[in-house]
Chain A
């Protein structure tokens, strides 16, 4: 069984970051890390591997040279090998552009199950797993709070606020997991040292056969970026508790918690 985990390299903290001249996030000044939900995805892959003998876990990322840090962490957490899609033309890719490249990489590797975190901490889009599934032509289960892999199918549990739901799908499939699916185990020193010897491959767009396609072409364009010095105005003063209570109830209703 081939499990491919899609991972992303994200900045450690977003506070105080800014945008570059080309309206992309200025990542150079910030230390990066493996996106936290993706750690959970790697750990879930490892959980499957603990129960089956035939599991091969491959971590895949697309990003600049520094993104290799995320792959190293994934290898430490339990991935068997890693693929880094690295190409200068990919700078500034949007969700669909990223999904096209990742789908090509996953298709080239071959897969039974594709896992990923449900959202990235920097963009927060949650779009790439569903897009990858659509491009690969396989079903997708997004936002899994619970994941169980059976012989030929996966089952997930999901809590959307309006109640619990469980879904099942036959493999191959794409599943995105939330941070509620179980805390990842801390890697041992032996695993950390062993990760240096694992295979880490770098593929370019030409390797994926996308060199003259539209993989690097963005489908969205940022018009303007304006800084708001105070940040979002989100603190209300409760001179009257009734007014504050209505504000909070409105907020909860809008987020579908009421």
Chain B
């Protein structure tokens, strides 16, 4: 039976298999027997976790190129496996590395790519990917007409469901062409190493507004930013009330930001504020007022009291860090 290739992700710190991979395997099982492609040496815990979510085969390679030249080496490895096993589809998690790998793989194999799928199913004509288009207003179903379908999947929309099997571990021994080494990593700094980037270039921004109510409550913004290793900002109301520094003001007159994650605490989202933060990739808003305009922009909105939700969130983050 033709397998479904699933590119496994592992955490940078302890090399354990990520939740996103378990979600991918859950979807992959609908298309065929999943073959997990693990880019580290296979350890018993990793293989067991992949098996628990239904990976019948675990293909591993321990070549150092996979760590030093992550994108190019993964493309080579997946292209090699795709040519050898003629898979039903290739599933990759939709983050930066995954998007690059999937795009290059599709171009190399001459096959169709569907990105940011929220669901995958099998149909008479082959695998079908479901996307959420135009700010979630439309549900679009697409299939691939040429070559091996390559899907990138937004795994946050998928709940991992276990289906234990005993996986077969297969060591893939391929030689990488010299082109793989074209991109060199010249520096690497782990997150949170005393790093406080400028608001305009920050990847994670936590901002507070009038809903926090007092200077003391504004400390929650700093605490959450600390926990997520982000940068603190404030709406114009917060700066006018003196809760935060004027150079941390996020609006048309202050700083326009483009973070990967924007967390708004007690900010209703005035026009001048929205103009400065609407370019954020992911927006999470917590506010008491359900009709606040910020919820129109938010990817995740929580209607509730900031003073109760944020301390709970801080505790939850601490718990997760401790148990990992």
At the interface, yes or no: B253 with Cβ under 8 Å from chain A? no
B99 touches A221 (CB 8 A): no
User: A135 contacts which chain B residues (CB < 8 A)?
Assistant: 107
Chain B residues with Cβ below 8 Å from A242 are 312
Inter-chain contact B103/A238, CB cutoff 8 Å: no
Interface residues on A, range: 35 or more
Question: Pick the contact of B115 from A125, A173, A248 — CB < 8 Å?
Answer: A125
Q: Which of A215-245 contact B (CB under 8 A)?
A: 217-228, 231-232, 234-239, 241-242, 244-245
Decide if A50 is an interface residue (CB 8 Å cutoff): no
Chain B: residues with Cβ within 8 Å of the partner, total of 92
Residues of B within 8 A of A139 (CB): 72, 179, 182-183
From A142, A244, A258, give the contact of B302 (CB < 8 A).
A244
Q: Does A213 contact B (CB under 8 A)?
A: no
Judge if B147 is at the interface, Cβ distance under 8 Å: yes
Known pairs A232-B135, A254-B156; A220 contacts B185 (CB<8 A): no
A80 touches B (CB below 8 Å): no
Find chain A residues with CB under 8 A from B44 CB.
Answer: none
Contacts of A253 in B (CB 8 A): 19, 320
Interface residues of B in 242-293 (CB under 8 A from A): 256, 258-261, 279, 282, 284, 286, 290
Q: Which of A129, A155, A231 has most chain B Cβ within 10 Å?
A: A231
B141 within 8 Å of A by Cβ?
A: yes
| Interchain CB contact (< 8 A) of B201 among A126, A142, A145 | A145
Whole-angstrom CA separation of A14 from B138 in the bound complex: 12
Tell whether B203 is near chain A: CB-to-CB under 8 Å. Answer: yes
**CA separation between A17 and B136, bound complex, in Å?**
11
- CB neighbours (8 Å) of B286 from chain A are 238, 244, 248
Determine how close the nearest CB of chain B comes to the CB of A144; give it in whole angstroms: 11
Q: Given the interface contacts A237-B303, A257-B261, does A223 sit within 8 Å of B141 by beta carbon?
A: yes
Tell me if B122 is interfacial: C-beta within 8 Å of chain A.
no
The interface stretch among A70-78, A163-171, A185-193, A196-204 is A163-171
A36 part of interface (Cβ distance < 8 Å): yes
Query: Does any Cβ of B come within 8 Å of A134's Cβ?
Result: yes
Contact A131 B103 (CB under 8 A): yes
Q: Which A residues lie within 8 Å of B191 (CB)?
A: 161-164
Contact across chains for B189 and A249 when beta carbons are under 8 A apart: no
Please tell me which one of the listed residues B132, B134, B302 contacts residue A238 in the complex, with CB atoms under 8 A apart: B302
Q: Is the interface of B mostly helix, strand, loop or mixed?
A: mixed
Q: In this assembly, does A115 line the interface, its C-beta being within 8 Å of a C-beta of chain B?
A: no
Taking CB atoms, residues of chain A closer than 8 Å to B299 are 234, 251
Chain B residues with CB under 8 A of A255: 156, 261, 282
Inter-chain contact A241/B305, CB cutoff 8 Å: yes
Contact of A223 with B143 in the complex, beta carbons under 8 Å: yes
Asked if B83 is at the interface of the complex by the 8 Å CB criterion, the answer is no
Partner of B183, one of A36, A126, A167, A252: A167
**A245 near B141 (CB under 8 angstroms)?**
no
Please indicate which of the listed interface residues A96, A222, A224 has the most CB atoms of chain B within 10 Å of its own CB.
A96
Q: Contact residues of B with A, CB < 8 Å?
A: 12, 19-20, 71-72, 75, 95-97, 99-100, 102-104, 106-108, 110-116, 123, 128, 132-147, 155-156, 179, 182-191, 193, 195, 197, 200-201, 203-204, 228, 256, 258-261, 279, 282, 284, 286, 290, 295, 298-305, 308-309, 311-313, 315-317, 320-321
A219-B144, A225-B139 known; 7 new pairs, CB 8 Å cut-off, are: A19-B138, A94-B112, A161-B260, A163-B190, A244-B304, A245-B313, A252-B261
3 nearest A-B residue pairs (beta carbon)? A238-B304, A232-B136, A254-B156
9 contacts between A and B (CB under 8 A): A124-B116, A163-B193, A165-B188, A173-B182, A219-B112, A223-B128, A244-B309, A249-B320, A255-B156
